[in-house]
Amino acid sequence: MNESEDILQIREWLETQEEGRFSLSHKAALIRSCDPFGLMADYKDENGTIYGYFNGELKQINKSGSYIRLD
């Protein structure tokens, strides 16, 4: 099965939107956490807060070692 041209373009864009294990924006993390690009992604802001995305939804925030689950 061949991927559409749109999917391939998004994959290429996502490759430019990562630094280490983190996405460079909420938008990139949200897309990265969606099928067919993956299932989980994290975004780390300039204050060190980590936002965890799962299956296209923000599910967790880690601020200074305190975890907040969003269900």
pLDDT (tens, 9 = 90+) of the chain, 71 residues, equals 577 999 999 999 999 999 999 999 999 999 999 999 999 999 999 999 999 999 999 999 999 999 999 98
**Tally: H helices and E strands in the chain:** 2, 6
Extended beta strands in 17-56, E state: 18-19, 22-23, 40-44, 50-54
pTM here?
0.88
Q: What is the pLDDT of residue 1?
A: 55
Please report the pLDDT score of residue 3 as a whole number: 78
Query: For residue 2, what pLDDT is reported?
Result: 73
